[in-house]
Structure 1
């Protein structure tokens, strides 16, 4: 599972050839969640409200890059790192 980004203790990953809809995985301490790229809504899991807010902020800034990674991972297995939230 490639690590796409890491910031403030939050780890963003994607799986190779994962199921639809396009999404990314978030890990923060003992919390885990899946976030839809199109809506930045939580598909599954749980995150503290402040962490979810940071993830949504980061996701809105990098939505195009996330979709590119989704496509590349599902077709070629390639990906690129995305800048963390500053």
Structure 2
């Protein structure tokens, strides 16, 4: 699973063979959540509320880049790194 960003102990990644809707994975310790790129909906899993808030803030800033990486993943191309939340 390619890592596309990392910040504050949170790892953001995408799988090449993942299912719709377009989404990414956020890992924090033993927690993992699947989050829709467009809506920010928590599709699956869970992370602590504070972590989810940080991930949602990051998603808002990088929605276009996440969509670009999703499309690259569908084509099995190298994903681009996305700046961490500062």
The TM-score normalised by the length of structure 2 is: 0.97
Give the CA deviation at 1:77: 2.3
Contact 1:17–1:75 at 8 Å: present in 2 too? no
Gaps spanning 5+ residues in structure 1: where? none
Give the CA deviation at 1:51: 0.2
Contact 2:23–2:37 at 8 Å: present in 1 too? yes
Q: Please give the alpha-carbon distance, in whole angstroms, between the structure 2 residues aligned to 1:47 and 1:68.
A: 25
Match of 2:55 in 1: 55
Q: Residue deviations 1:52-82, cap 9 Å, x none?
A: 0000000000000000000011113221000
Count residues with an aligned counterpart. Answer: 86
Q: Please give the alpha-carbon distance, in whole angstroms, between the structure 1 residues aligned to 2:41 and 2:54.
A: 13
Gaps spanning 5+ residues in structure 2: where? none
Match of 2:38 in 1: 38
Match of 1:76 in 2: 76
Pair 1:11 & 2:43 matched: no
Q: Secondary structure at the match of 1:72?
A: helix
User: How much is the aligned-residue C-alpha RMSD, in angstroms?
Assistant: 0.7
Match of 2:23 in 1: 23
